[in-house]
Amino acid sequence: MVQRFRESITHRPPFTSGTIAAQPDELILFFGKGNKSERLDYATAGPEELDALSRACDRASFGLNGENVHDESYRKAGKLDSAFFSTSFVPERNKLASIVGGSLLEGDKATRPLHFELYKLNVYGEGSFFKPHQDTPRGGDMFASLVVVFPAAHEGGALVLRHGGEEWTFDAAQALDKESTPSVAYIAFFSDVEHEVLPVTKGHRVTLTYNIYYADDGNSKVPNPPTFVDPHARSSYGGTLKNRLAELIKCPDFLPEGGNLGFGLRHVYPVVSFPSNPLSASLDNIRLKGTDRLLDQVCTALGLETQLYFLYREDDDRASDAVAASGFHVDLGCNEVIMSEDVPYAQTILGGEYESFSEAMGGTRIYDPENDRPLDDVINWVTVPNSWTRTETALAYYGNEPGLSWVYADVCLVATVPEAGDR
């Protein structure tokens, strides 16, 4: 059951979808092939204006064995290349780019800047569809596609996604119908996801498609990406997470006396250290996002208290050297210790005697600053802690030579499970 819960955290659907509010100017479209262009406002456009847009389109082709082919038994839709229309809807300028980046990507990938390349405008009139296919990558760093569906009245045209034996459906028409303010629907999916547009049964389904690329070499970092949980995740993925955790803690054999569950965070966060006191770092600035935020909410909703901790590892050579050299000798009785930020750093390092630790005494424990020793119960890691959010702390030590060493701490989340009778 722990395995099932763990999988519900790490196994995410390969797409993100939903609706977002659109500004009035984002719903204006200019299009045309000659010298004069036509103007269309999705907020007010009726069937005639949408028909005019449809007539301005070419027949959409698709890639088959490296060639563009027209085959209306495979794809029936109209298209305009980006040279023939103009829109002020720009994902990087509204919240969509960060929504897509923040919910599709995790870990250090989520901090990489993305480029959204406007690809085509498509009009799917009545009877239009696009049979199952994968999108042709247009360059090495393209990893996903984005479809934005504008609020033109239509029915049908749901997008069906298939990946790893699973299937999902996103009906943009239905999603837009539920909105009372002007909005667009969006869906972004990884390039290896097969997808299909079901036939439009009424009206006009007008979309913009974008190719999504990494816009860097993989080494640069955007320091503080926005906090976000996408609505799809909250409902379906969040629901699974909650059910699996509920099922786990309902079982009386699971941590009967209570205990701690530990989670590695799946996003990168900024950790601030204060220049006036290099031995302090703060968890205050961390606002959890994406999966991490969802997990925190799910734990809290099920009556588990949560807290962020710094995790110090014994297998960090430099830390052990520094500790050994600092002359403290308190046996921690475990090989990893985690502590909240209000533990002064000097105490942290009290865990000397690293060498005497045996595997049998192993495990991660929470440091108790009042008694200057770790608490008895260990952390049961549900997901492996990682080094995506890491602090470096300088530690001066005095041995036969004075020196300076760095100690690393990784941020993780711990949820406390009450004893079986109390949950």
Cβ closest to ligand AKG, residue 62 vs residue 357? 62
Whole-number minimum distance, CB 84 to ligand AKG, in Å?
Answer: 16
Cβ–Cβ under 8 Å, residues 120 and 80: yes
Q: Could you count the other beta carbons within 10 Å of the beta carbon of residue 38?
A: 13
CA atoms within 13 A on the CB side of 210: 23
Query: 279, 342 in Cβ contact below 8 A?
Result: no
Print the binding letters for residues 188-227 with ligand AKG: x by CB under 6 A, - otherwise: -------x-x---------x-x------------------
List residues bridging with 366 in a β-sheet: 338
User: What gap in Å lies between CA 306 and CA 316, rounded to an integer?
Assistant: 26
Report the distance separating Cα 96 and Cα 230, nearest Å. 11
Beta carbon nearer to ligand AKG, 169 or 356: 169
Place of tokens 């909650």: 242
Query: According to the binding rule CB under 5 A, does residue 135 interact with Fe ion?
Result: yes
CB of 62 to Fe ion, least distance (A): 8
**Binding partner at 197 among ligand AKG, Fe ion, none, C-beta below 5 to 8 Å by kind:** ligand AKG
Nearer to ligand AKG, 45 or 60 (CB): 60
* Contact status: 280 vs ligand AKG (CB under 6 A): no
What does 159 bind: Fe ion, ligand AKG, none (CB cut-off 5 to 8 Å by kind)? ligand AKG
158 vs 304 by CB, closer to ligand AKG: 158
How far CA 363 is from CA of 55, 260, 264, 311, in Å, comes to 68, 12, 15, 12
Q: Which of 89, 130, 210, 367 binds ligand AKG (CB under 6 A)?
A: 130
Q: Contacts with ligand AKG in 132-171 (CB under 6 A)?
A: 135, 147, 159
Q: Are 97 and 114 in contact (CB under 8 A)?
A: yes
Binders of ligand AKG among 345-374, rule CB under 6 A? none
Least Å distance, CB 179 to Fe ion, is: 24
Place of tokens 């439009």: 200
The interaxial angle of helices 290-301 and 238-250, nearest 10 deg, is 40
- Separation between Cα atoms, residue 268 and residue 276, nearest integer Å: 24
Shortest distance (Å) from residue 262 CB to ligand AKG: 40
Give the total of residues touching ligand AKG (CB under 6 A).
9
Of these partners, ligand AKG, Fe ion, none, which one is at the site of residue 103 (CB under 5 to 8 Å by kind)? none
**In the β-sheet with 85-87, what is the strand arrangement from edge to edge?**
38-41, 28-31, 85-87
Torsion angle defined by CA atoms of residues 229, 232, 238 and 244, in that order, rounded to the nearest 10 degrees: -150
Q: Which is nearer to ligand AKG, 119 or 345 (CB)?
A: 119
By beta-carbon proximity to ligand AKG, the closer residue of 208 and 414 is 208
Determine, following the binding rule CB under 5 A, whether residue 124 of this chain makes contact with Fe ion.
no
- The CA dihedral of 72, 78, 84, 85, to the nearest 10 degrees, is -150
Piece of the chain touching Fe ion by CB under 5 A; list 129-137, 231-239, 313-321, 392-400? 129-137
Binding residues for ligand AKG (CB under 6 A): 122, 130, 135, 147, 159, 195, 197, 207, 209
Binding residues for Fe ion (CB under 5 A): 135
